[in-house]
Structure 1
Amino acid sequence: MSIRGNSSGPRPVPLSYRLLDGQDTLPPVVFLHGMFSNKNIFQAEAETLAQKTGRKVLTVDARNHGESPHNADCSYEAMSSDLLALLSQLRLTPCVLIGHSMGGRTAMAFALQKPELVERLVSVDVSPLVLMGIPKVFKIVPVMNSINLLGNRSDSQAFEVIDEYLKLFIKDASIRQYLFNSLVRVNGKYVWKVNAENLWQQQQQLLDPLAIQGVYHGPTLFLISINSSFVPPSHYHKIKLLFPEAQFQTIPDTGHVLHIKKPQDFMNSLLSFLS
């Protein structure tokens, strides 16, 4: 389906999504993944939330990720426009937005632009301000591009070979697990379901502070890895100016992909916030 946006803003692309059914009387939950990932990263959490809360739960592939179209514009304004088109199409507003890293910034941009469409907001280990920790994330792109493995072996064997190679560059096993979410076999070769080159070229758009005017007064939770370089305590005051109702909760011993490292703690925090 082709979806037209406002002529004054970015033209939205039709996003790939998965929707779990639930009650119409409760605000639906929308998960937005981080960079180099896709909607499958939150599938277990989506199923748990749908079962425990009775809500509809939507997982989405951002542009340039998963099964969604590739596009040169990597701005948060563009990704927010994509989300607005999809939520309008599915009639899923007002909703609860839960976003990790890049997805968290998209969720924040959306809430600042369309606060009436967001019932509450969860940002997972990311700040709307200058990002100090993310530039090193882009060092993964040449490593991803250097993998050239034919699919003439089982997935488990292939993933073991690739994991051993990635260990040379990425010590954190949870980060490697996070990346494997986007690795698939296509036409006899393993490829990444992400437009990594375009993200690399447009990285400044992804690193700069959110250039969006507005204030979101709804309930907001910032879930943070303890000692996070992505959301340092020095950001808290300015974050509260944009999100006056913001709560800050740290989860110990996690790292940036805290939903992978501590899935139960992550789910408990979400359930508590939703209740």
Structure 2
Amino acid sequence: MWARNWRSLLWGSSRLWISPIQGVRRSLATMGSSGPRPVPLSYKLLDGQDALPPVVFLHGMFSNKKIFQTEAKTLAQQTGRKVLIVDARNHGESPHCPDCSYEAMSADLQALLQKLGLGPCVLIGHSMGGKTAMTLALQKPELVERLVSVDISPLVIPDLPDVFKIIPLMESLNIPEDLSDSQAFELLNEYLKPFVTDSSIRQYLFNSLDRTNGKYVWNVNSENLQQQKQLLLDTLQIQGVYRGRTLFLTDSHSPFLPPSHYPKIKLLFPEVQFQNIPDSGHITHIKKPHEFMSNILSFLS
């Protein structure tokens, strides 16, 4: 809520499948014939025209739906579309669950779209949210009108920065209760500077700091995320191809979407286009908000 004032992440049997990416195989978890059990996600839906495909924003790891509330409002006003922002499981106000798999997060989203009666959607996912969006598009392409992935590859990334180093830093926070919101953010900013040099990442982390019963808490189920770290960072090994229009936004210097991955990505998403936003880092929508929205609006038009 107030964090945004700093700127106005196939199921089935246990058989093995071959993915469209040659040499990538997947051992599907044994979860029963109905797949992962969805949990009821916390969400906010902005109203719009039924004739236009709705837009769904999916946040990255350690964040929540509030990170996209400004973009959601702008998009709803400028396009007349319904816009949905969602807390992924283990984030924000959505339930905590030991299963952090992308199949489970895709099942959650499918259940929510069915509940809300939303037809084929435009999915816009950042980082973990991008991999969730890709999973749903590959599993259920009929539910996805277009796909936007923000600075993340569906493939495992060598030499990836250790994003999980943030967990002990955030868990060790002890912010005095008598501080105002702005004072709390200033304190957190100074605390994180020696460890997180990118100011856009620090601002991103502020988004999940909430005040509950007078105390500042980090609203992330870090224990479950840490336990399934390798699952979250691994290659998406989903059988299927998504042939709808697809946009991958990135920074040419980002380690999260190396150009060497482009040929294999094109096998999964044949209609993909790659758009570079210079100096946007990993948190594109915070570091380069105008360029981010300009590319989204252009892609939707």
Q: Deviations 1:188-235 (Å, cap 9, x if unpaired)?
A: 321111111211111111011002110000000000112110110100
Distance of 2:273 and 2:32 partners within structure 1: 33
SS at match of 1:97: strand
How many residue pairs get matched?
Answer: 271
Change in Cα spacing, 1:273 to 1:222, as seen in structure 2 (3 Å) is: same
Corresponding residue for 1:213?
239
Distance of 1:188 and 1:48 partners within structure 2: 31
SS at match of 2:170: helix
Corresponding residue for 2:52?
26
Task: Map 1:134-213; keep pairs closer than 5 Å.
Answer: 134-213=160-239
Corresponding residue for 1:77?
103
Distance of 2:251 and 2:244 partners within structure 1: 23
Q: CA deviation at 1:135?
A: 4.9
Change in Cα spacing, 1:148 to 1:192, as seen in structure 2 (3 Å) is: same
Distance of 2:159 and 2:44 partners within structure 1: 30
Q: Does 1:242 align with 2:268?
A: yes
8 A Cα contact 1:133 1:230, kept in partner: no
Corresponding residue for 1:49?
75
Change in Cα spacing, 1:40 to 1:133, as seen in structure 2 (3 Å) is: farther
Distance of 1:16 and 1:143 partners within structure 2: 26
Distance of 2:51 and 2:182 partners within structure 1: 43
Corresponding residue for 1:231?
257
- More displaced stretch, 157-166 vs 243-252: 157-166
Corresponding residue for 1:258?
284
SS at match of 1:25: coil
With normalisation by structure 1, the TM-score equals: 0.96
Q: Does 1:132 align with 2:165?
A: no
The one-letter amino acid of 1:139's match is: K
The one-letter amino acid of 1:241's match is: L
The runs of 4+ residues in structure 1 deviating greater than 2 Å are 5-8, 131-135
Distance of 1:190 and 1:216 partners within structure 2: 42
The one-letter amino acid of 1:91's match is: G
SS at match of 1:210: coil
Q: Does 1:62 align with 2:88?
A: yes
Corresponding residue for 1:100?
126
Corresponding residue for 2:112?
86
- More displaced stretch, 31-40 vs 6-15: 6-15
The one-letter amino acid of 2:181's match is: D
Q: CA deviation at 1:152?
A: 1.4
SS at match of 2:262: helix
- More displaced stretch, 133-142 vs 225-234: 133-142
Distance of 2:186 and 2:157 partners within structure 1: 32
The one-letter amino acid of 2:57's match is: F
The one-letter amino acid of 2:131's match is: R
Q: Which runs of 5+ in 2 are unaligned?
A: 1-30
Distance of 1:226 and 1:6 partners within structure 2: 41
SS at match of 2:162: helix
Q: CA deviation at 1:187?
A: 2.1
Distance of 1:111 and 1:134 partners within structure 2: 25
8 A Cα contact 1:97 1:120, kept in partner: yes
